[in-house]
Amino acid sequence: MTTDLFSPVTLGSIALKNRMIMAPLTRNRAGEGGVPQDLNVTYYAQRATSGLIITEATPISAMAHGYPALPGIYTDAQVAGWKKVTDAVHAKGGKIVIQIWHVGRISHPSLLPNGALPVAPSAIQPAGQAFTYTGLQDYVTPRALDANELPAIVQDYVHATKCALAAGFDGVEIHAANGYLLDQFLRDGSNKRTDNYGGSFENRARLLLEVTKAVVGVVGADKVGIRLSPVNPFNDMTDSNPQALFNYVADALNQFNLAYLHVVEGGMGGKVQTFDFNELRKHFKNAYMANLAYDKARGNAAIASGHADCIAYGVPFLANPDLVERFRANAPLNEADGNSFYGGDAKGYTDYPFLGEQK
Ligand code: 8OZ
């Protein structure tokens, strides 16, 4: 039998019924206090036929927020809200991990406790504008974290991971991609530090490895994945030598025996540096999840060639709750409505039709 998108696979100890992963998607529809609500339960449960759902990026603390209406994973009420989500997904035979997130400099004082400045490896203002409750506002110059503040951030990841277990998740994905805090430490466009957390690859990867070790200590490596985006310029990111940096990171992550490495293989807009993702894949010894603009044919080809063990689909799962069935049947896909991606209600969230449903 050929191995394809519909073949089962086990990532670490997470057994999946197929290799079509729902990618993390920010949707800005959480309730008051960052608590997932019934609408969110419906949305995730609708997509439980995917092999694995990765939740939207979820802040690990009040200082980790950078957009309106995000769900959190650090209060009891948030845990209770997420428990309804995981119960509903499990009741439908699905698996779900939570993507744990600190935005670093991609935030705004109006989104942070007491109007605090966002924090970052270095005090470098990113180009671009924050989505705030009062519209778009320029990003500000963040405050550079002192090295003695980093253990508390690692502890925030530990606390969030304990909350994730209490909420019934099958594992966690550490968000180290797309220009947020851990990626800001990795890439040298945003990290100009001269201490043990800046300069060499070893130093720039130090915080990610400390966070990974701490999270693994809570849930076990076989339930931990990591997302990287070596050349995504999104959020004003650059690096002087991404191939060597991320080959190093993949090698260093091998010490943990993680469930999977999830890679955004390109950019979400902007100029993308040259990068050989197959070379990166060869550096990582466990399961590899590929993401970005895959369709059915490219997904199957990546699995057949051994490049990837599974494929994460974002927009296709957003617009097609039954994407697995549609791929199986070679059925047409619903068009995604970009206007309802971020924020709003059921429209463009839970009302995409299933195959055979009239809308
Ligand atoms: C798009 C809009 C807001 C957030 C990411 C969490 O890129 C995001 C995100 C994407 O990982």
pLDDT in tens, the chain (359 residues): 689 999 999 999 999 999 999 999 999 999 999 999 999 999 999 999 999 999 999 999 999 999 999 999 999 999 999 999 999 999 999 999 999 999 999 999 999 999 999 999 999 999 999 999 999 999 999 999 999 999 999 999 999 999 999 999 999 999 999 999 999 999 999 999 999 999 999 999 999 999 999 999 999 999 999 999 999 999 999 999 999 999 999 999 999 999 999 999 999 988 999 999 999 999 999 999 999 999 999 999 999 999 999 999 999 999 999 999 999 999 999 999 999 999 999 999 999 999 998 66
- Identify the active-site residue in 180, 248, 288, 352: 180
Residue 83 to residue 128: CA distance in whole angstroms: 35
> How is the chain split into domains, by residue range?
9-340
Integer Cα distance of 278 and 130 in angstroms = 34
| Residue of minimum CA distance from atom 4 in ligand 1 | 26
For ligand 1, atom 5, the nearest C-alpha belongs to: 178
Taking CA atoms only, the protein residue closest to ligand 1 atom 2 is: 26
Cα–Cα distance for residue pair 220/170, rounded to 1 Å? 11
Active site residue 260: no
Rounded Cα distance, 72 and 87, in Å: 18
- Within the chain, strands assigned E span 9-11, 14-16, 20-22, 52-59, 96-101, 119-120, 129-132, 135-138, 143-144, 171-175, 224-228, 260-264, 287-291, 310-313
Helix (H), strand (E) counts: the chain:
11, 14
Please tell me the distance between residue 3's alpha carbon and the centre of ligand 1 in angstroms: 31
168: which 2 tokens? 């019934």
Ligand 1 center–CA 66 separation, angstroms? 10
Record: fold of 9-340 = TIM Barrel (3.20.20)
Residues lining ligand 1, Cβ inside 6 A: 26, 57, 67, 177-178
pTM of the model: 0.98
Cα–Cα distance, 59 to 82 (Å, whole number)? 13
Q: Residue 280 and residue 250: Cα distance in Å, rounded?
A: 7
